[in-house]
Amino acid sequence: MLESIIDLFFPKVCAGCKSLINTNEYVVCTTCRHELPLTNHHLNPENEAFKKFYGRIPVEYVSAFLYFHKKGMVQELIHNLKYKGGQEIGTFLGEWYATDLENCQIMKEIDAIIPVPLHKKRMKERGYNQVTNFGLALSTGFKIPLNDTLLVRKVYSKTQSKKNLLGRIDGIESVFDVDFKEEDSNKHYLLIDDVLTTGATLEACSKALLKIPGIKISIVCMAMAHS
d(CA 73, CA 96): 17
**Facing residues of 217 across strands?**
189
Q: What kind and span of H or E run contains 221? A: strand 216-225
Residue nearer to Zn ion on the CB measure, 47 or 80: 80
Tell the smallest beta-carbon distance from residue 220 to Zn ion (Å): 24
| Beta strands at 151-153 and 176-178: parallel, antiparallel or unpaired | antiparallel
List contacts with Zn ion (CB under 5 A).
14, 16-17, 29, 32
Nearer to Zn ion (CB atom), residue 96 or residue 176: 96
Whole-angstrom Cα distance, residue 84 to residue 89? 11
Q: How far is the CB of 12 from Zn ion (least distance, A)?
A: 11
**Would you say 34 or 108 has its CB closer to Zn ion?**
34
Which of 193, 223, 201, 192 minimizes the C-alpha distance to 70? Answer: 223
Residue 17 CB, shortest distance to Zn ion, in Å, is 3
Please, are residues 221 and 196 in contact by the beta-carbon 8 Å criterion?
yes
Least distance to Zn ion from the beta carbon of 108, Å? 34
CB closer to Zn ion out of 76 and 193: 76
- Give 69 or 122: the residue with its C-beta nearer to Zn ion: 69
Q: Pairing relation of β-strands 112-115 and 188-196?
A: parallel
At closest approach, how far in Å is the CB of 82 from Zn ion? 19
Is residue 85 within 8 Å of 125, Cβ to Cβ?
A: no
Task: With H, G, I as helix, E, B as strand and everything else as coil, classify residue 161.
Answer: helix
> What is the sign, positive or negative, of the torsion defined by CA atoms of 181, 126, 98, 216?
negative
Helices (H) and strands (E) in the chain, counts: 9, 6
> In the bound complex, what is the minimum distance in angstroms from residue 20's beta carbon to Zn ion?
10
> Given the complex with Zn ion, which of 20 and 166 has the nearer CB atom?
20
